[in-house]
Chain A
Amino acid sequence: MRAATTTPALEVRDMTISYDREPVVEGVTLTIPQGRVVGILGPNGAGKSTLIKGVLGLLETDHGEVRVFGGELSGSRQEVVYVPQRGSVDWDFPVTVKDVVLMGRYGRLGLFGRPSAEDRRIAWEAMAKMGIEALADRQISEMSGGQQQRVFLARALAQEGRLLFMDEPFVGVDASTEAAIVELLHEMRDQGRTVVVVNHDLQTAREYFDELILLNKRLIAYGPVKQVFTAPLLSKTYGGRLAVFRDHDDQEIIVGA
C-alpha cells in the first residue's frame, strides 16, 4: 500500500533553535521517508514543539536547513499541514466550525480568492469524516475538548497535504476521539502521507507510531519503534525521571516522564 517514492518527506540538517541565546534544540539532523507515522517523545522542555515550529519556519532558527519532498519549504506550502496545540487556539474567536475547516483551503486561494464550491465540498467531507457535520454552525467555544480537536483535524484534512505535523493532539480528548485520531493517522500513512506527532504519553507510543524520535534538546535516537523504544535509550532521553519495570511476562514496562 505504501507509496514507493524514494524522495524523503522531510530532511532536517543540523537544526539549532535558541530562546534568549539558550539553545532549546541543538544540532538535530533527521531524514523521514514518506508514508510513516512518527512520534516525537521527550520530557517537558525537551524542545518537541520548538523543533516542529522551527521546521515549519514559525520560529527563527539559529542554524539548520529544511527540505520538504526534496525541495524548499516555500515550494511545497500546500503539502505541509500543521495542527497546533489546543491550548494555543483562541476559542473565543467569533468563528464557526465550518469557517475554521474552510480555512484549511485558504492556502490555495491566494490574497484575493474566494472559496469555490469544490473547496466547500472538501471542507464538508472533512467534517463528515471527523463526525462533526452536525456542529458546522456552532461557534468553536461551544464544544468539548474532543470535538475541538476534531475540528482542527478536519481542517488538516481539508488542507490535503502530504506531510502533517500535529502538536499534542491527544491532550484533553475523550477516548473515542483518541481512537478516531489514531485511525486517521494510520489511514493517512496507508495513503502514503507522513505524519509527525508530538506526544508525551509513553504508554501508547508503541502502538500508535511506526517510528519514534527521541528528543532532549539533542536528537537521542530516531528509528523504528522496535529499535528505539528501549530502556537504555528512553532513560537517556528522560534522564533519571524514568523507572523501568518488568511485568509478569517479563515485558518491560516504563513508568515516569
Chain B
Amino acid sequence: MLYELFIEPWTIGDWMWRGVLVSSLVAISCAILGTFLYLKRLSLLADAMAHVALPGIVAAYLLTGSQSTPTMLLGAILAGLVTSGLIRFVERYGHARTDAAIGIVFTSLFALGILLLSTFARDAHLDLNCVLYGNVLGVADHSLILLAVVTVAIVALTVLFFRPLQLATFDPALAAAFGLPVGLIHAGLMGTLSVTTVASFEAVGAILVIAAIITPAATAHLIAKRLETMLLVAVAHGLLSAVLGMYLSIWLECSSAGAMVTTGALLYAVTLGATWARRRWRRAQRRQRLQASALPG
C-alpha cells in the first residue's frame, strides 16, 4: 500500500523524476525571488507581471513567428517594462491609487493576450489550458534547461550579493547612501521576475506562478527572524509543496500545478494557525505567571 502510493511512481519511467525536478526548480527560483518581492511589498506587482508575460509572449510570437526561448524571454521582459511604465503613468496622470492602477493595467493587457491567443495565435502550441493549468510533465527540454539556468543564477546571485540585497531591501536609503546601485537592484529583481515567469510558464501556467512566488515567502515570514532563515524556510516550503503536490496530483489524477499550489496554501494555513496558537498560549502563560506572582503579595 505505502509502496504503491509513495515509491511506485518513481519506478515507472522517468516522468516522476522529471516532474519533481521541474517543480522543484520552479519552487526554488520562485521562493527566493518571492522573498525579496514580498518584503518590498511588491506581491501585487508580481501578480501583474506574471499575468502580462502572456501578452508579451503572444505578441512576440505574432511579430516574429518564432517561439524560441529568447523570443519569449524578450517578449515577456518588454511586456514587464511596458506594464511597470503604464502602471506608473496611470498612477500619476490618472490619479489612480497603486492597487487600482495595477488592476487596470494588467487585466487589460491580460485580456488582450487571451484574445490574441485565441484568434491570431491559434497555431502557437500555447493553448489556454497551458496558460491556466500549466503542465509540469509537458515541459520541453529547452524549457527545462532554461529553468535550471535561471534557478542556478538566482541562487548564485543571492549568495554572492546577499548583503547588498539585504540592505537594499530593508533600507534602500542607507543602501543608496553607501553607493549601492539601488535602482539597478530593483530593475534586476523585476527582470528576474519576468525571466522566472517565462521559465515557469509551461510548468505552472500564468496565474499559478504567482502562488509559487507569494506563498513560500508569506509562510517563511511568519516564523523567520532573519533574512537568511526566511530564504531557507521559503525554499523548504516550495520544495515540500512541490513534492507533496506531485503525489497529490498522481493520487487525484489532477493538474500538478494546481496540486502544488493547493498544498502550499495548506502549509501556509497550518503555519499561520500554529504561530497564532503559540502566541495565544504564551500570552496565557504570561498572564498566569503574573497572577501567580500577584497572589502571595
User: Measuring CB to CB, which residues of chain A are less than 8 angstroms from any residue of chain B?
Assistant: 53, 56-58, 74, 77, 80, 82, 84, 88-90, 92-96, 99-100, 103, 106-107, 109, 111-114, 137, 139
- CB of B174 within 8 A of CB of A82, answer yes
Given contacts A95-B166, A111-B161, contact A103 B226 (CB under 8 A): no
Q: Kindly list chain A residues whose C-beta atoms are within 8 Å of the C-beta of B160.
A: 112
Please tell me if the beta carbons of A139 and B170 are within 8 angstroms of each other in the complex. no
With A and B bound together, what is the CA distance between A63 and B30 in angstroms? 42
Residues of A within 8 A of B177 (CB): 56-58, 77, 80, 82, 107
In chain A, what residue has the closest Cβ to B225?
Answer: A139
- Highest count of chain B CB atoms <10 Å: which of A88, A94, A113: A94
CB of A112 to closest CB in B, whole Å: 7
Q: Tell me the complex Cα distance, A95–B169, Å.
A: 11
Determine how close the nearest CB of chain A comes to the CB of B54; give it in whole angstroms. Answer: 32
Cα separation A142 to B170 with both chains bound (whole Å)? 17
> Is there contact, CB below 8 Å, between B176 and A103?
no
Contact partners of A99 in chain B: CB under 8 A = 166, 226-227
Point out the residue from B173, B229, B230 that lies within 8 Å of A84, measured CB to CB: B173
A109 B170 Cβ-Cβ under 8 A: no
Check if B39 sits within 8 Å of A103, measured CB to CB.
Answer: no
Give complex CA distance A97, B87 in Å: 36
In the complex the two chains form, what is the Cα distance from A120 to B169 in whole Å?
21
- The verdict on A111 contacting B171 (CB below 8 Å), with A94-B224, A94-B229 known, is no
State the CA gap A113–B164 with chains docked (Å): 10
> Across the interface, which residues of B come within 8 angstroms of A113, CB to CB?
163
Residues of A within 8 A of B39 (CB): 90, 93-94
- How far is B183's CA from A58's CA once the two chains are assembled, in angstroms? 12
Closest 5 A/B residue pairs (Cβ): A107-B178, A139-B225, A94-B230, A94-B224, A93-B170
Residues of A within 8 A of B229 (CB): 94
For residue B221, CB closer than 8 A to chain A, the reply is yes
Contact of A77 with B166 in the complex, beta carbons under 8 Å: no
Establish whether residues A106 and B161, one from each chain, have CB atoms under 8 Å apart when the complex forms.
no
Q: How far is the CA of A77 from the CA of B166 in the complex (A)?
A: 19
- Is B179 interfacial (CB-CB < 8 Å)? yes
Docked-complex contact A94 and B171, CB < 8 angstroms = no
Q: Check A96–B225 contact: CB distance below 8 A.
A: yes
Given contacts A57-B176, A94-B230, contact A109 B163 (CB under 8 A): yes
Mark B100-130 against chain A: 1 for CB-CB distance below 8 A, else 0.
Answer: 0000000000000000000000000000000
**Residue B167 is within 8 A (CB to CB) of chain A in the complex:** yes
A246 CA to B46 CA, complexed, in Å: 60
A233 vs chain B, min Cβ distance (A)? 31
CB distance from A234 to the nearest CB of B (A): 30
Bound form: Cα–Cα A99–B174 in Å? 14
- Does B170 lie within 8 Å of A90, measured CB to CB? yes
11 contacts between A and B (CB under 8 A): A57-B177, A58-B177, A82-B173, A82-B177, A93-B169, A99-B227, A106-B163, A106-B178, A107-B177, A107-B178, A139-B226
Collect the chain A residues with CB atoms within 8 Å of residue B220's CB: 94
* A58 interface neighbour in B167, B169, B176, Cβ under 8 Å: B176
Most chain B CB neighbours (cut-off 10 Å) among A56, A82, A84, A99: A99
Q: Is A95 within 8 A of B173, CB to CB?
A: no
- Chain B residue at minimum C-beta to C-beta distance from A74: B179
Residues B167 and A106 in contact, CB atoms below 8 Å apart: yes
CA distance A90 to B41 in the complex (A): 10
Residues of B within 8 A of A80 (CB): 177
Contacts of A107 in B (CB 8 A): 177-179
Q: Are B179 and A77 in touch, CB under 8 angstroms?
A: yes
Neighbouring A residues of B161 by C-beta, 8 Å: 111-112
How close is A21's CB to chain B, nearest CB, in angstroms? 13
Beta-carbon nearest neighbor of A78 in chain B: B178
Contact A95–B226 (Cβ < 8 Å): yes
Cα distance, A114 to B164, chains bound together (Å): 11
Question: Within B59-83, which residues are at the interface with A (CB < 8 Å)?
Answer: none
Does B173 contact A58, Cβ atoms closer than 8 Å? yes
In the complex, what distance in Å separates the CA atom of A100 from the CA atom of B166?
10
Residue ID in chain A nearest B224 by CB atoms: A94
- Chain B residues with Cβ under 8 A from A93's Cβ? 39, 169-170, 227
The residues of A that contact B167 with a CB separation of less than 8 Å are 103, 106
A95 x B227 contact (CB < 8 A): yes
A200–B164 Cα distance when bound, in Å, is 33
Min distance, Cβ B76 to any Cβ of chain A, angstroms: 28
